[in-house]
A = this chain, B = another copy of it.
Amino acid sequence: MKTMKVPEATISRLTIYSRFLEQADAKGILTVSSTDIAKNVGVTPAQVRKDLAYFGEFGTRGIGYTVKDLLKHIRKILGLTKIWNVALIGAGNLGRALAHYKGFAKRGFEIKAIFDVDPSKIGSKIGNINVYSMDELNEKVKELDLRLGIIAVPAVAAQEAAWALVKAGIKGIINFAPRSIIVDENVILRRVDLAAELEVLTYNLQECKIDA
């Protein structure tokens, strides 16, 4: 293994491999080959081995990978060995759903506080998470050790929410609002545009004339 720049796509795939490994582990499978992983997640075996090779040698030639070991290594690589506390901005429909979503906690992400500008929501609870005023963001980030931010506000409010998060010291943000936002360059920003996913489908469907 030589140290070199790891493609972003490799990181995304590592999370996908880890999903498969969790399933395999749950089924009691002890060992998997790169081909097993590849078949399940829809990539080539070479791709799997290359992705892992950026970080070390985790397998045994002739045998494959020990499921539990590889899972542990990938979790370490992704920084998932501890709990990450999350600030959620926006207590609307999407925000409420994300607050309830079990998949986060299952992977070590805990939404510890929700923030909104709507006075009728401030002071309420979603599940057992408090909804605070945006004015309390700085304070709560420190108090609750919030490290990540999720923006689930309307498009017009997205940039402001991002600035507030950055100002409060949050270094990793996911933006669910359908608008491009900018942040300091030492902050990691990812965009999830739900409608955009559907739009890629419609492009492909009409392209293939399936729909003509």
With A93-B100, A96-B97, A202-B78: A197-B178 Cβ-Cβ less than 8 Å: no
Q: When each residue 170-212 of chain A gets 1 if its CB lies under 8 Å from chain B and 0 otherwise, what string results?
A: 0111100011101000101011111111111111111110110
Q: Is the CB of B195 within 8 A of A174?
A: no
- A interface: dominant SS: helix
Q: Is the CB of A86 within 8 A of B198?
A: yes
A186 partner, pick from B79, B86, B104, B210, beta carbons under 8 A? B210
With A100-B93, A180-B42: A196-B15 Cβ-Cβ less than 8 Å: yes
Q: Is the CB of A94 within 8 A of B86?
A: no
What residues of chain B lie closer than 8 Å to A15, measured between beta carbons?
Answer: 193, 195-196, 199-200
What residues of chain B lie closer than 8 Å to A174, measured between beta carbons?
Answer: 197-198, 201
How many whole Å from A44's CB to the nearest CB in chain B? 14
How many whole Å from A154's CB to the nearest CB in chain B? 8
What residues of chain B lie closer than 8 Å to A178, measured between beta carbons?
Answer: 19, 103
Q: Is the CB of A8 within 8 A of B179?
A: no
What residues of chain B lie closer than 8 Å to A182, measured between beta carbons?
Answer: 42
Q: Is the CB of B205 within 8 A of A147?
A: yes
Q: Is the CB of A109 within 8 A of B195?
A: yes
Q: Give the complex CA separation of A188 and B208 in angstroms.
A: 10
Q: Is the CB of A180 within 8 A of B97?
A: no
Q: Which residue of B lies closest to A190 (CB)?
A: B197
Residues of A within 8 A of B (CB): 8, 11-12, 14-16, 19-20, 23, 40-42, 77-80, 84, 86, 93-94, 96-98, 100-104, 106-107, 109, 147-148, 155, 171-174, 178-180, 182, 186, 188, 190-208, 210-211
Taking A15-B200, A23-B155, A79-B207 as known contacts, 11 extra A-B pairs with beta carbons closer than 8 A to each other, sorted by chain A number, are A14-B203, A16-B193, A23-B179, A79-B203, A104-B194, A104-B195, A171-B211, A172-B205, A188-B205, A190-B197, A192-B192
